[in-house]
A and B are shown apart, each in its own frame.
Chain A
Amino acid sequence: MIRTRLTLAILSLFALAACSAAPGIWGWYVIDPSTSSGWTNVKFLFRGFSSTIQISVLAAVASIIIGLIVALPAFAQNRWLRLPNRIYVEFVRAIPLLPMLFWVFYGLPVVLRSMGITLNIDPFWGAVITLALSDSAFTAEIFRSGIQAVPRGQAEAAQTIGLSRAQAMRYVILPQAVRRILPPLANQFIYIVKMSAFASVIGMEELTRRANELVVTEYRPLEIYTLLILEYLVLVLIISAGVRWLERKMNADESR
């Protein structure tokens, strides 16, 4: 699986190289690492990786925690107790990412100030908060459906051997739900990585922002944005390789 993906990546690079042979269209010199100015540009672009990765990882962790908290009321017997879960999921899921980013970055500090809290949200935390909130609605749904997919008989059997509801969750339901939850959760991580590009519009110096800045000075959008896409491709390929590994490992555990 990894080998197929790697082959695909290399093939696409060859395709690009072939394109570069077409005269007059491409100007790869701008990011040619063998020249000193090209190398400086590449280094400038690659320094965006650390912000993109940090934002994505923090947002993913926060999203999982928020998602779990939001998912819990969904298992209440009483439908009014389940309501907060539905409202949160339906509401947050409906907000497009970019408006939410603007609201968090420009609006939230005003709200906080009115409550007597002076807190300037910098682009980094603005991006983390927005991505985490936006993604948490989906994470909550993944948790809910993963847990609900465990057959009812499992909880019933746990009850008849004397386990409490919490023990049944801890020892019987969750270990089985994790197998259903992890793969879609990892896919959400890919989504977060890609959506972190929006952080560029509030001035976060991540991959996309740096590409934009270089385009302004070098005036070579085709080459620079092509490299930008490849940068995201590399990140996503690494994550999906991790997902495959996880799925294989869990399948192996299941049949052991």
Chain B
Amino acid sequence: MANTERTKHAITMDAVNKWYDDFQVLQDISLTVDHGEKLVICGPSGSGKSTVVRLLAGLETHQKGTIHVYDQPVDAQGRGDIGMVFQQFNLFPHLSVLDNLTLGPMRALGMPKLEARDRAMAYLERVRIPEQADKRPGQLSGGQQQRVAIARSLCMEPKLMLFDEPTSALDPEMIAEVLDVMEDLASDGMTMICVTHEMGFARRVADRVAFMDQGEIVEIAPPEIAFTAPKSARFAQFLDKILKH
């Protein structure tokens, strides 16, 4: 459930607009996310849902509106404060799993090597693959790679974790192991924004589900309401397609 003890929001997006040349990808996105809240964003492809998390991660810029994460603009965040997990994992193929994890703490935080290793091993335990520490990412399955990617972000001890379709590139039998790790993380109180079509995950974990279409947030509601009584026809249609199979 949303953390209501503190008044300050984790994320505040106010009338954010973004264009690629003449094409408007985001239209007046306004959104607040509380501390410890789990927000799932879904919607058809091209709806702008990835763009929202990429903006929060500082990977894209917008033209109008304001974004604040913990009362600070995105480009004023501390190093690695906003963790991001990508659809394609984006692990560093030339480094071992352990080196993938220690790179951020050592170079961005200046942490001594041994301390960084301890931290990395702790998070590998957390994602349940400590035995893969010395392997290269290319030797792991997709599910294992994505769990390493999650651990790599956690090593920076971020205030906020963003997930951009983390299971979309995975074979079906590997989706569960990644979702398990994410649920575990969620139960720990991490503030999470997750772009996903895994509606079962959304039902179990999300405090709210946002439905985006054509650059707008069409609807945002707790999953038990959103899934059973969608207000808009677009969301109802979308759910119908997603849940059919």
Residues of A participating in the B interface, judged by any CB pair closer than 8 Å: 151, 153-154, 156-164, 167, 171-172, 175-176, 179, 253-256
A161 touches B108 (CB 8 A): yes
A255 touches B107 (CB 8 A): no
Contacting residues, chain B, for A162 (C-beta < 8 A): 78-81, 104, 107-109, 156
Smallest Cβ distance from A99 to chain B, in angstroms? 42
What would 17 A/B residue contacts be, using CB atoms closer than 8 Å? A154-B90, A154-B92, A156-B90, A157-B90, A158-B92, A160-B82, A161-B153, A161-B155, A162-B79, A162-B81, A162-B107, A163-B79, A163-B103, A163-B107, A175-B94, A179-B94, A255-B138
B136 within 8 A of A: yes
Give bound CA distance, A176 to B92, whole Å: 9
Smallest Cβ distance from B1 to chain A, in angstroms? 28
For B101, the closest partner residue in chain A by CB is A161
A156 touches B80 (CB 8 A): no
Give bound CA distance, A164 to B107, whole Å: 9
Give bound CA distance, A129 to B116, whole Å: 47
Q: Closest 9 CB pairs between A and B?
A: A162-B79, A162-B108, A162-B80, A161-B104, A157-B90, A153-B90, A160-B84, A175-B94, A167-B107
For B155, the closest partner residue in chain A by CB is A161
Smallest Cβ distance from B119 to chain A, in angstroms? 13
Among A156, A163, A256, contact of B104 (Cβ-Cβ < 8 Å)? A163
Task: Determine which residue in A161, A164, A175, A254 has the highest number of CB atoms from chain B within 10 A of its CB, and name it.
Answer: A161
Smallest Cβ distance from A107 to chain B, in angstroms? 45
Known contacts A160-B80, A161-B80, A163-B108, then 8 further A-B pairs from the complex at CB < 8 Å, ordered by chain A residue: A153-B86, A154-B90, A154-B92, A157-B86, A161-B103, A162-B81, A176-B94, A253-B94
Give bound CA distance, A176 to B227, whole Å: 45
Among B57, B103, B136, B156, contact of A256 (Cβ-Cβ < 8 Å)? B136
B92 touches A172 (CB 8 A): yes
Contacting residues, chain B, for A161 (C-beta < 8 A): 80, 83, 103-104, 108, 152-153, 155-156
Contacting residues, chain A, for B57 (C-beta < 8 A): 156, 159-160
For B107, the closest partner residue in chain A by CB is A167
B86 touches A171 (CB 8 A): no
A156 touches B86 (CB 8 A): yes
Give bound CA distance, A154 to B91, whole Å: 7
Among B83, B91, B94, B107, contact of A160 (Cβ-Cβ < 8 Å)? B83
